[in-house]
Each structure stands twice: as structure tokens, then as C-alpha cells.
Amino acid sequence: MSQKNVVQKKNQKEFSGKKKPFKQLSK
């Protein structure tokens, strides 16, 4: 897993709390 991927995943987790739609897109 590249570092960029790790950062994206971390951002996604934080984003999930702010924007729910993002979580659905990641499904």
C-alpha cells in the first residue's frame, strides 16, 4: 500500500464523519 493510499484512507475516515455521501461513494 503506497503512502498516498494510506493518507487517502485516513482522509476518507475523517471525511466520513463530516460528509455521509462520501462514505456511500467509497462503497
Q: How would you write 3-24 as a 3-class SS string?
A: HHHHHHHHHHHHHHHHCHHHHH
For the full predicted model, state whether its pTM sits above 0.75: no
pLDDT value of position 17: 60
The low-confidence residues of the chain, meaning pLDDT below 50, are none
